[in-house]
């Protein structure tokens, strides 16, 4: 098996693609393959990782033109596992020489500036969460607040978000509208609005309803198809739109 990997210098665009032949082993993931390349062929290859177990969200990248987590994408299965996404340039621009029958194409996550190779600048993604203040401010002396299993189930899928930014990288609106907050932040706003322990849920709805938030979403649902944790941001955005 061969991997065709996008390369770039610090703070630049993709400059070229390098081709590597890997020794595929049983159960090997794309992240394992990248380790093999870095350890045995090219120590200059840059990519992010941490937990290796689809918990931290660090290893998000574009794999065969689909945003995925490298740590949970099997080398032997990726060419069989197609996902039908609404296209935009990052998903349709095919590099010269790529043979999808024999090669796996690895590129940085779209809709963010490239720092080096497969490492993207996540500050734009995190800034939306900070600007919207997507957390709860505890009150002094406040006691623990219990929650019934049924109330918890209302927010379960949204709590599962690992902030991998795969939804952000799959979104055609993020590709066209740089100011768009993005699916993850809007889904997290709904997570707090739906939490029965929150005393001012309208604050989160207001934060999501700004001009560069929910109104920009076209409900394309690429975010729903690619989310590795089943968060389904599009469903949360639809609910906010219907309020």
Statement to judge: residues 14 and 49 lie in one domain: yes
Distance of alpha carbon 179 from alpha carbon 33, whole angstroms: 35
Statement to judge: residues 96 and 128 lie in one domain: no
Statement to judge: residues 75 and 164 lie in one domain: no
The total domain count for the chain is 2
Helix 233-241 × helix 183-193 angle, to 10°: 60
Statement to judge: residues 78 and 54 lie in one domain: yes
Statement to judge: residues 175 and 214 lie in one domain: yes
The predicted-structure confidence for 138-183, as pLDDT tens digits, reads as follows 777 778 888 999 999 999 999 999 999 999 999 999 999 999 999 9
pLDDT > 90: percent of the chain: 91
Statement to judge: residues 129 and 112 lie in one domain: no
Statement to judge: residues 7 and 95 lie in one domain: yes
| In the predicted structure, residue 134 carries a pLDDT above the cut 90 | yes
CATH code at position 232: 1.10.1060.10
| In the predicted structure, residue 115 carries a pLDDT above the cut 80 | yes
Question: What local confidence, expressed as pLDDT, does residue 145 receive?
Answer: 82
Question: What local confidence, expressed as pLDDT, does residue 228 receive?
Answer: 96
Find the domain containing 66 and state its range: 2-120
Statement to judge: residues 131 and 210 lie in one domain: yes
Structure-token pair, residue 194: 């739906």
Kindly state the average pLDDT of the residues 4-20. Answer: 91
List residues bridging with 20 in a β-sheet: 3
Statement to judge: residues 112 and 163 lie in one domain: no
Question: What local confidence, expressed as pLDDT, does residue 150 receive?
Answer: 95
Statement to judge: residues 221 and 133 lie in one domain: yes
| In the predicted structure, residue 12 carries a pLDDT above the cut 90 | no
Distance of alpha carbon 189 from alpha carbon 133, whole angstroms: 9
Question: What local confidence, expressed as pLDDT, does residue 103 receive?
Answer: 96
With a CB cutoff of 8 Å and minimum separation 6, the contacts of 171 are 111, 180, 182, 183, 220, 222, 223
CATH code at position 36: 3.10.20.30
Statement to judge: residues 6 and 115 lie in one domain: yes
Question: What local confidence, expressed as pLDDT, does residue 121 receive?
Answer: 96
**Mean pLDDT value across the chain:** 95
| In the predicted structure, residue 189 carries a pLDDT above the cut 90 | yes
Statement to judge: residues 127 and 115 lie in one domain: no
Residue that is last in its domain, among 64, 86, 120: 120
């Amino acid at each position: 098996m061969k991997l065709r990997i996008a390369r770039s210098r610090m703070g630049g665009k993709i400059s070229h693609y390098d081709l590597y032949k890997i020794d595929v082993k049983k159960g090997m993931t794309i992240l394992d393959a990248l380790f093999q390349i870095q350890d045995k062929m090219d120590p200059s290859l840059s990519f992010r990782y941490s937990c290796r177990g689809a918990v931290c969200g660090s290893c998000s990248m574009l794999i065969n033109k689909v945003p995925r987590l490298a740590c949970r994408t099997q080398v032997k299965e990726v060419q069989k596992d197609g996902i039908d996404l609404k296209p935009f340039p990052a998903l349709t621009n095919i590099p010269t020489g790529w043979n999808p029958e024999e090669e796996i194409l690895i590129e940085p996550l779209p809709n963010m500036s490239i720092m080096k190779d497969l490492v993207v600048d996540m500050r734009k993604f995190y800034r939306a969460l900070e600007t919207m203040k997507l957390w709860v401010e505890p009150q002094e002396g406040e006691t623990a607040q219990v929650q019934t299993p049924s109330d918890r189930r209302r927010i379960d899928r949204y709590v599962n978000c690992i902030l991998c930014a795969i939804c952000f990288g799959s979104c055609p609106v993020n590709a066209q509208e740089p100011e768009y907050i993005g699916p993850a932040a809007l889904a997290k706003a709904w997570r707090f609005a739906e939490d029965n322990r929150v005393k001012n849920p309208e604050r989160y709805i207001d934060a999501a309803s700004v001009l560069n938030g929910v109104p920009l979403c076209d409900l394309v649902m690429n975010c729903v198809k690619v989310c590795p944790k089943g968060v389904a941001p599009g469903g949360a955005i639809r609910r906010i739109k219907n309020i």
